[in-house]
Amino acid sequence: MRVRFTGLKAWWVQRLSAVYMLLFVLFLLYSFALQPLREFSRWHAWVARPGISVAFLAFFAALLGHMWVGLRDVLLDYAKPAGLRRGLLAAVALGLLGLCIWLLVILLGLQG
Amino acid sequence: MGREPPGTGLEAAAASRLRRPVFLNLTQIQMPVGALTSIGHRISGVVLATGVPAAAYLFALSLRDEGGFAQVAALFERLAFKAAAIIAIWALAHHVLGGIRHLLTDFDIGSPLRVARRSAWFVNLAGVAVALLAAGVMW
């Protein structure tokens, strides 16, 4: 499987994810302004609502895709010896994959 | 194919490129404001990326149980946490505003130099202003 997000595809990933994350953050601010979730039970119940969980899931997907394209660009520009660059890119990819699994487990755990 | 004599063609071009003066002292180069916005966009992006694992941990902890939620809430009283939050808020504000500026440029809005300079100043200053505002709210 090769999902590398390069060239025009990376350009789209970066922009679509940015727009979704911006809308999601504005939605979060708006929701918290309407009803501050100061107790565990209300916070937990709110995030566990299917629509909210799916919105969080899409946010995390957008965040990880956006992070991959951005960190990859930075490493391609500054990580100089090719070996170091390859190692760092692999480390970032692994880290993001781990984050992805972890966040999925958190969200799925809420549905139980 | 015979080898080219020295001093001609590609070799000569490469040699003359090497002789060109290179001055990359970042402490002495006068950077235009757009360059600061651009570098700020990268720096704020990397800052945000390093904060994501910690944020994911706090998200998980706050959803685990009553105790975890209380732990996360208590963090907001700690000075070091507040300082980290303000840096994260600066990075987010700068990155989002700079990102919107990029998106507008994609649609050819704000590309002329005068406008681009003004929006670059706006992004740099507004990022700091949002961070100061957040600091004012937190203390």
Chain A's closest residue to B73, CA to CA, is A38
CB atoms within 10 A of CB B86: 18
Residue A6: per-residue pLDDT: 73
Residue B8: per-residue pLDDT: 56
Chain A's closest residue to B65, CA to CA, is A40
Three-class HEC string of chain B:
CCCCCCCCHHHHHHHHHHHCCCCCCCCCCCCCHHHHHHHHHHHHHHHHHHHHHHHHHHHHHHHHCHHHHHHHHHHCCCHHHHHHHHHHHHHHHHHHHHHHHHHHHHCCCCCCHHHHHHHHHHHHHHHHHHHHHHHHHHC
Residue A1: per-residue pLDDT: 40
Among B58, B69, B96, pick the best mutation site for testing chain A contact (most A Cβ within 10 A). Answer: B69
Residue A111: per-residue pLDDT: 85
Overall number of domains in chain A: 1
A19-51 tens-digit pLDDT: 999 999 999 999 999 988 889 999 999 999 999
Residue B6: per-residue pLDDT: 53
> Per the domain annotation, does A2 fall within a domain?
no
- Which regions in chain A score pLDDT beneath 70? 1-5, 112
The CATH number covering residue A89 comes to 1.20.1300.10
- Which regions in chain B score pLDDT beneath 70? 1-18
Select the residue of B45, B52, B65 nearest A99 (Cβ to Cβ). Answer: B52
Structural domain boundaries, residue A98: 7-111
Residue A55: per-residue pLDDT: 97
> Per the domain annotation, does A53 fall within a domain?
yes
Give CA–CA dist B98/B26, Å, rounded: 22
Task: Answer yes or no: are the C-beta atoms of B110 and B101 closer than 8 Å.
Answer: yes
Q: What topology does CATH give the domain B33-138?
A: 3 helical TM bundles of succinate and fumarate reductases (1.20.1300)
Residue B121: per-residue pLDDT: 96
Contact call for B59 and A106, based on CB within 8 A? yes
Tell me the domain boundaries of chain B: 33-138
- Contact list in B for residue A70 (CB cut-off 8 A) is 45, 49
Residue B23: per-residue pLDDT: 78
Contact call for A18 and B66, based on CB within 8 A? no
> Per the domain annotation, does A81 fall within a domain?
yes
Interchain CB contact of A15 with B (< 8 Å): yes
B50-70 tens-digit pLDDT: 999 999 999 999 999 999 999
Residue A38, Cα to own-chain centre: how many angstroms?
Answer: 25
> Per the domain annotation, does A85 fall within a domain?
yes
Q: What is the mean pLDDT of chain A?
A: 93
Residue B1: per-residue pLDDT: 44
